[in-house]
Every structure is written in C-alpha cells, then in structure tokens.
Structure 1
C-alpha cells in the first residue's frame, strides 16, 4: 500500500511539472531524483557525447523518465541465514525442503530481531554504473537476436531493456549472471528450436516451487538472488525471476496477470509472457501449458501486462496495459448510473471477501451511462465510481455468463423464497481448477483393514470407500466387529490425502495406539490425520496409516475425512447470511445444528454467507429454481462433471 501511495503522489508531481512550459518529462524525473541527479545525468552525458549511441541515449531517457513510478522494498538482512541455509538443502525431497524453509522463515519472523520493511525509490537509488551496465547488456543481447526475430525498439524499451520485471529488489550484476547461466537456451533459439521448447526447457530445469504461505513470514517481494538460493516464492516472485531471465537473453518478456479472479475470495494470478519474432508463449512457472488456450472457460474479468512505462489511460493500473482480448472472448457494455450523485472515475469491481468490492477495470461516462470495454465473461461485476480511492456502487451487480448474456441482481423484496438450502460458503470447483473434486474422489477404492499380525498377513477388510462425494467427516459403523491388534487405512495404490482419521470401540469411545505407517507424507506436522484439524492432512501414493494396540480390541466405528477446504457447513459454528440491496443487509445469524442451513431470501438476490466462527474463504451466490445455491463463475453440481 505504501508503494502504491508513493507512485500515486509521484504521478501527480510529474504531471504538474511536465505540464509546465519550461520542463519536460525527463526534467521532472531529474528534479525528483534530488541528490541522485548527478548519477542520472552522468548516464545521459555518457551516451549523448557519441552520435553512434543515439539509440542508447533514447533508451537511457526512457528509463529515467519512467523511473519515478518504480520503487521496491529492501531485502530483509535478518533473513539472510535462512536463504543461505536452504541453498545447501538437497533438492531431491521437495516436500521436506519446503517445510524446512517455511519453518526457518517463521522462526525468524516470530523473533524480536525482525525490522520494518524499508521502501527504496528507484529514482533516488539507481547509480550510473548500474544503469550503464544494464543498457549495454540489453543492447548486446538485443543486437544478438537475428534480424528477422528482433523486436521493435518500442517493445525493446518496455519489455527487454528494463532492469527488473515489476517490484523485485534491484541487485547489481544479476542481469549478467542470468545471461551467463542461461546462455545455453539462447543457443537453442539460434539453432532453430521453438520458443515454447526453450521456455519449457528453462522452467523444467529450474523447478521453482510456488509457496503462498511464504508471505506470512517474509511479507515482501523476493530478490532474484533469494530465489536462486531457495527455488521458492509466490507466483509473482517466480514470474519476476523468469522475466529477468528472458530479458537477459534479449527476448521480449513481461508478467501477464489477472489482478483478481471473478471467482476467488481475495486474489489473482500471474504468469510469464515471452515473445521471439512472431512466436509468442504465455505459460505458468512450470511451463508446458499455453495459457492463451487455458482461460476460455475461466472467470477472468481482466488480463493485464506489466509495462515499465507509465500508462495514464489505465487509471487503476497505470503500469499495465490491457491484453484481455489476446486471451479470451470479451464484451463491451454500458451501465446506467443509478446511485452515484458525484461521479469520479467509472470502474467495475469484482467481489472480494476482505474489501467487499475490488475495482478491476476503468471506464468512461457518456450521458449518464458508464462505458466499459474488453470485459471477460463468466464474471459477476459491480459497477461503481471511484473517488479518492473510495468505491461507491452506481447500480446493481450483474453477471456476464459464458455466452455474454447479462443478468442483473436487483432483489425483489416483495417476493421471498422460503426454505432455501445453504450447504457451503464458497464454490467448490471451477472450470480450470477441479482439484477439490479429485481429492475427494481419490479416496474411492481405498479401504480399512485389520489384522493380528504386524505385516498384516491374513488381514481382513472391514470397510471399502465407494462413491464418496462429500468433504464432511464420515462416520462408518462396522457391521461385524472383530477383535484386532492392528488397524489401518490403506490407500490401495492410489495417490490421496486424509484430513482426519479416527477409530472407536464398540462402545463409541475413541481409541489410540502406537502409530504404524508407510509411504506417508506429512506436509504440515507429524500424524496430522489424528489432530482433529480439518485443514491439515497426510497422504501420498500407496500409503497406509493406523494403530497398533497393546491388546486386541473390537472396532465399532471408523471416521475419516478427505483433504478439504472446510467451507461446508460445520455443526456448532455460527453463520450470517446477507443479501445486496445498495449495501449488504443481514438475513440473520444461525448456529448450525446440521450440515445444512435453511433461510428465507428475497427473489433474485445476490447472497453472501459469512462464517462468524472461523475461516476466510467466502463468495457470493444466488438461488436457482430448485432452491439450491447457484455459484457464479464456479461449477454447479461439481461431482457430476467428472463422471
């Protein structure tokens, strides 16, 4: 937030200065640099003196003119031992490596030795030697590209020349380091290999891991050297790394991103865009999949491409350009301004659990209507106006379905729907991510077995999991209890995960013994299946886990739960349902007595169920003709999709 606020202030300053008769955009940047001005002027003088360097001079001017809009957070020195340690950790056990890295970050973060993030402004930080070296290396790589494949100078300035991708810390010498490290990929391109082959080769060689929870303990972008050591980061960090790699090789490269999904409670996604001649390739950090063929059915409101230059036409994201229509079908719409008296910047927002509405696209006003272009489909939008960064709705929310049909949600307060079934607070799966369905179904064909032998010789299967379609805890009564010294869950060769596992005697008392297990991985903590936490889990491929008892007992019940998101209705927890009518209005608080809640709701209402007891994942929904929840941008009736 500090970074964005600084950029906003700088934008205003540069606009004022550049509008004066005596100053240019370059002069505005030099004034902003203050004590660092001699360093930047040294770069300009270096290239101005030689006519053959005229293009390099233009490149230097481009970098300096746009430098006031860029800043970064200085790497946190107290974490250096963590990155040094993880660099020595073997790469052959990625699960344990990730766990060790997160544990080390947490220990430092929780200590009293941590310091506050320090914001560094590029315009006051970048020195002449660094900038000259960056320009020289950029031109060397760019000129090394075949004439038929070399980009235009304009694209070169925005997507090859810049000294970093977006917000990662500046580090001396990294461009040269990356060029040397990946020069083999450059040779592949020169020999005629396709761009996709080369990009996939680099991503498969690096094997970087996207670990979102890193930000819980290291709350700022990672530097390239930190990624080199850890091979981990969030997707933004890892995309920044690859963008720098491809730019070091002289290619066009940028971060493409969805700032906020239409069907996620709080976040978006970023990936790599690379161009070589007429070849283009957009892919995630693991490569292999072309993202330009991936998002047709997704809930994507906007796709932006990061750019070094400042784009004043994009008032929401001025360092990005809109490339939505390069990926997915789009639609232009006009929406009447019904609510807002004092109109600021017309914007469209998507639902966000923490902010309520997250502005995602800017528009224009014509004759009392707000006009928006290049909108993605399968998205719920809220039209509004942005004044001093405060969003005010201007009309009722509407959904653009996958065919471009528009449905507006204005509640009919004169007509209610009774006995509506509420079974979740968040959609279960989406067209591009059905992993939650697969996690449940993966348990099918697994079984529970008992034996009086440690090696389970002559074992007996007491229950086999079939047709499982629930994320809830399953309690199974054993029809014919048999005394046993050993009992275990057996995945039967499958790859799956358990969130919970428990055994009970014939009197219904929970029993425990010495843990017996094989081929099982615990990503959070040892024996997570026994901790009564539905969000932790254990599992793997062809694994088993259970108990050895001191003496034989009769098992009356087994309990198990698939790895899940815990967004179903939990007995004993409190919930509150809201509907939108110019603001969020409550329909009452209820304590769950069952795994279903029943409410009376207005017809055609947009609804939001909050869990007041715990949890953060929530999203809006409506009610269909069968009084069931209908999730906008999600799959509905998800378990039938993969049948």
Structure 2
C-alpha cells in the first residue's frame, strides 16, 4: 500500500510540474476580459491569442555567447565612426568566439514560448499601440481592412525574435518618415532607404549571415547591421509600428540558380502592394527567376494533413501563403511519371515538384495524384526547368524527365536522344548573371595608352573599350611607334574593375609577338586599406581584381625599361568576374541527365578558355563541373551551337 501511495504521489507531482510548465498563462486570459466592452479590440485580442500556441523566441547560452557582437558593432560604428559593413574588431571577436566554442549552433538554443512568457500588459500595450497607429492613417492612404490589420499590423513578432515593447518608440522615432510616406505609400522603399541606409548608416553584413536566428529590434539597432532576413524583419517592425500593413515575401529556391531571397511588402489594400528590397537603394525587382513565392503570416493556415510523410516537411509550413500569382503569371499542369514507375506509384497520393541546384533536386511545391502515374501542380511560375519526384524516408527520387515550363504554360520534356550526337563547345559552367554584367560594364570607355614618359604626358590612346566586355577579351592594336610606357587607364569620374590585363608586342617591326614584361606601374598607391591594388590586375590570377572608386585616378601598366621599348600589337583583358568561365589547366567533366540520374560523358583538362566535347547525345539537360576548384554550376540545354542556361 505504501508503494501504491508513493507511486500515486509521484504521479501527482509529475502532473503538477507538467501543468505548471506547459499550461498556457492564465494571465493572458485577462486580455479578453480587458477588451470585453470593445468588440473590435476583443476580436484583435482573440486573433493574437488564438494563434499564439506555438509561437516562440530563441534564447539560451548560445544567444548570450554571441550577444557581445551587437555591443561591439555599436561601439565601432557610433563611437569610432567605422562605417564598414563588418568592422575588423567585430570579425576578430566573431572568430575568437567560434574558435573557443564552435560555430553558432541553433540546436543548442532554448525556446521561450509566448504563451508562458508574455504578459497581459505586454499584449494589451501592443494592441492599443497598433490600433492607435493604424487608425490615425487616412483611409486614402491605407484601406481599413480589419483582416489585413490583424494579419499584417497587429502581430508583435515577425520571426523568432525576443518580443519587445518597441511599437510606440518606433512610431515616435520614425514619425517624420511616416508623414512623408503618407503622400505616396508606393514610395515607402525610397523614404526608408534615404533614412535607414543613407542617414543612419544601416548596412547589410556578410558576417551576420552566420547568425541564423532573428534579432530583436534592440539588437538590430545596436548593430545597424544584419543579413537580408534581419534587415527585412526590422523593416516590418518599423512599418507595422507606423500602422502600415507589412510582412515578408520570399523565395525558398530560385528556378534558375541556387539559394533564395526575401524582401518586404507594404500593403495599401489587398491588391495594391509594394515590394521593398531592404537597404538596396531601390524597389524590389527580380534578378533571378522564381518558381514559387510565399508570404509570411501570423495566423496558422490550413495544411493538407494527408500530405504528411509524402512531401518534405518544409512544404507544409502552416505560417505562409502562396503569393506567386501576385508577381508572375502562373500555370496549372499535369505531369505523367515514367511509364516504368507507374506501378510503384499507384499508392502515392502526392508528388513533389523540384528544381535543380547544381546536381541535386530541391523541392519547391507538391501536387495531388490525378490518375495512375499522373500528378497535378497548381500556381507555378513559368520560365524554369522542373522535374517531378517522389518523397520517401527523407529522400527525393525523380519520377519524370526534366521539363521546361515556358512562360506561356507550354511544357517541353527534355530527354537525351538515343541516336543523335553533337559536338559541343562550352565557355562557362555557370551563367553570367547581372552582377557580373555590371562589373563588365564598368570597363566601358577604359582605354589603352602609350607614352614615352612615366607621367604619360601627351599619351597616345591606342584602344578604347566600346562594348560591354566578355569574360575573355582579345583585341588587336595597330601601333606604328615603339613605346616604353603602356597602361590600362580607367575613367576618373566612374567606378571601375579589371581582373587581369596582358600586353603583347614586338620589339622590332618584323619580330615575333611576345608577352610584354617590365616593372608593374599604377595608381592609386593604396585604396581601401590595400597597398598597390593595381598589382591585382597583373598577378596572373583571374580571381583577384583591381577595383577603383569614383574620383580616383586609376591605371595599371608596364614600364618596359630603357632600350626595351616595343610596338604594342594586342591586349588581352578580363573583367572582374565569378571566374566561372573556362580556366586553362582546370579539369572539367560534362554530365547529362539520363535514366533519372547524372551520367558522365567525358572529362578533359582545359587548354584554353573553351572546351570541345564530341559525340554527345543531343536534346539532354547538361551540367559542366570543374573538378579542380569552385562549386558554382548550373544546368543548361544546348541549342544552335550555344549553351542556354536553365
């Protein structure tokens, strides 16, 4: 009997502890009572409380370990005036923290659930401040849609940050910016950029990409720095504090390159919404092609319960909605699996839609079965190559051939020919995206000059860059006089970049062309903390570069030396780039997608800046891999003798 009584008491004690730890805070129920006589605020309170059950913030010793980072950012920026995105003392502190305790590990973090840690007073103040800001905006600026208010103004958090009572302070702090926005909410991006980036010095930080959790408002304001997600979350806090509906839209995986992106959206009403690329100096526009676009919500969305176990868990996030059609034309379509797999898939209720990231599949959506071996997908953006897959035990397995969903909804299956062969000439393993094009464009109007004196007094212009340069540029020069000094000169009133320049010439009019050699000369002597940065343009390394600022007198060249003058015959030059063009000496492998997997069709060491592969099956999806170095690779088709990036 004593044992039974002891067991009963122990069970009761455990139950009491569990109840104390996991019960919702009865204090929060006071919020409903507080607004019993105000139906609108009571509805708002119900919205928050009804959607609070699994909301939490990350906390614990791992957060505390890195908390000193924010204070040091603040000291460097405010007290020492260091406006670098990542001041050196901060980088050194981060390195010392990771050396002592390892990289930031999200699995070590505790979870502080809102139901157990937020007070009624906090929720009430949040509700009152949200209403005050929202109701003070003229109806002509923001449509007073209560559902939109609840979802995109009222919430006290946007990510996993520690909630803070910051609404009223942010409203007061940014009141002037709010007044400016009231004249034209579509220009919110410009108003916020002028204040936050230009005046207050907020910047994106490469270092804080390694800080994988949300920042509180006060943490971000200390650092004035953050990764893309941190900046977006702060923008949303500011907009909501001003009464403007806002949230984060995002792409998990691009359709034509790896990775994703997030941005802020401010809303005038349910149809007029304005995307903001935080701290970019412009409104948001797509640089890459999206497959699916999602929007964060505070309320829990309906998820198909039957899909669990059949699709990756990330596709069943209940706190997001599909907004692809707000940005792009979308398409519904049905895909048939390979005939040989129809029997194996007879019991599969769902299939997964994937894009390619290098050589792996990345899930972007899922669709229901629409007949034996057929699956239907909805609301998908065109312009990308997709492939259907099944999901079993955490693994994606392809069940269809890759296919191009064109912008008009046309589907073209991509399959390797069994009989037709082709010769392929390849110049890159990865697309030259807009950023690389920008670097190349900065070389326009640069010129090659020659002179008889080190000051280049009376210099002769032998060549001017007129078109946007390619990855590799080889230009013939007509020169009737021998010169001792030659240089690549960039415009003083523009920024500029060059990765490598090589001069060729003859020492006698009938002699052989040779690479010219001499003492490297250039200007400026130092820039950005780097001594003689111009040397990067003549170090034989395509990955290093010489970058100049607006207003700098910048050039790089050679002093051939007395008695070593030459006729300049040719110049070879390379813009600053991602070095994903073909690099001489590197070992490359060409792969094709066939029979549900990547298959090698050959390897070769590059002798120049172009590869030639012969007897390759036509019509396939291809991938070129540099086995020597680098990890950026992208699928492509081969059409009319050229690589077409997908």
Residue 424 of structure 1 pairs with residue 425 of structure 2 = no
Q: Aligned-pair distance for 1:50?
A: 4.9
Q: Verify the 8 A CA contact 2:72 2:90 in the aligned structure 1.
A: no
Q: What is aligned with 2:100?
A: 112
**Distance in 1, Cα, partners of 2:288 & 2:483:** 52
Pick one of 544, 547, 554 that aligns with 2:554.
544
Q: What is aligned with 1:585?
A: 599
Would you say how many aligned residue pairs link Structure 1 and Structure 2? 586
Alignment of 1:233-312 (within 5 A): 233-264=226-257, 266-277=258-269, 279-286=272-279, 291=284, 294=285, 299-312=289-302
Change (3 A) 1:486 1:592: closer
Change (3 A) 1:370 1:326: same
Change (3 A) 1:33 1:598: farther
**Distance in 2, Cα, partners of 1:524 & 1:453:** 24
Q: Verify the 8 A CA contact 1:44 1:61 in the aligned structure 2.
A: no
Q: What is aligned with 1:44?
A: 29
Q: Aligned-pair distance for 1:544?
A: 1.2
Q: Aligned-pair distance for 1:319?
A: 1.6
Q: Verify the 8 A CA contact 1:346 1:364 in the aligned structure 2.
A: yes
Alignment of 1:426-441 (within 5 A): 426-429=430-433, 434-441=434-441
**Distance in 1, Cα, partners of 2:415 & 2:20:** 54
For structure 2, which runs of at least 5 residues remain unmatched after alignment? 1-16, 305-314, 508-513
Structure with higher Rg: it is: 2
TM (norm. structure 1) is: 0.80
Q: Aligned-pair distance for 1:222?
A: 4.0
Which SS does the other structure have where 2:155 is aligned?
Answer: coil
Q: Verify the 8 A CA contact 1:82 1:104 in the aligned structure 2.
A: no
Pick one of 341, 353, 358 that aligns with 1:348.
353
Q: What is aligned with 1:35?
A: 21
After TM superposition, the structure 1 stretch with the greater mean CA deviation from structure 2, 145-154 or 101-110, is 101-110
Q: Aligned-pair distance for 1:253?
A: 0.6
**Distance in 2, Cα, partners of 1:469 & 1:162:** 50
Q: Aligned-pair distance for 1:260?
A: 1.6
Change (3 A) 1:32 1:602: farther
C-alpha RMSD of the superposition: 3.7
**Distance in 2, Cα, partners of 1:628 & 1:32:** 66
Q: Aligned-pair distance for 1:245?
A: 0.8
After TM superposition, the structure 1 stretch with the greater mean CA deviation from structure 2, 210-219 or 323-332, is 210-219
Q: Aligned-pair distance for 1:188?
A: 4.1
Q: Aligned-pair distance for 1:572?
A: 0.9
Q: What is aligned with 1:18?
A: none
Encode CA deviations 1:431-475: one digit per residue, 9 max, x unaligned. xxx343343243233113344555432223354335464213758
Alignment of 1:75-224 (within 5 A): 75=63, 76-88=66-78, 96-97=84-85, 100=88, 103-104=91-92, 107-108=95-96, 111-112=99-100, 116-117=104-105, 118-123=108-113, 126-128=117-119, 129-146=121-138, 149=142, 151-167=144-160, 169-188=161-180, 193-207=183-197, 211=204, 213-215=206-208, 217-224=210-217
**Distance in 1, Cα, partners of 2:190 & 2:245:** 16
Q: Verify the 8 A CA contact 1:212 1:233 in the aligned structure 2.
A: yes
**Distance in 2, Cα, partners of 1:387 & 1:353:** 22
Change (3 A) 1:34 1:358: farther
Q: Aligned-pair distance for 1:483?
A: 5.0
Which SS does the other structure have where 1:629 is aligned?
Answer: strand
Q: What is aligned with 1:336?
A: 336
Q: Aligned-pair distance for 1:346?
A: 2.1
Pick one of 402, 405, 411 that aligns with 2:410.
405
Q: Verify the 8 A CA contact 1:143 1:150 in the aligned structure 2.
A: no
Q: Aligned-pair distance for 1:622?
A: 1.0
**Distance in 2, Cα, partners of 1:383 & 1:479:** 59
Which SS does the other structure have where 2:376 is aligned?
Answer: strand
Q: Aligned-pair distance for 1:159?
A: 1.1
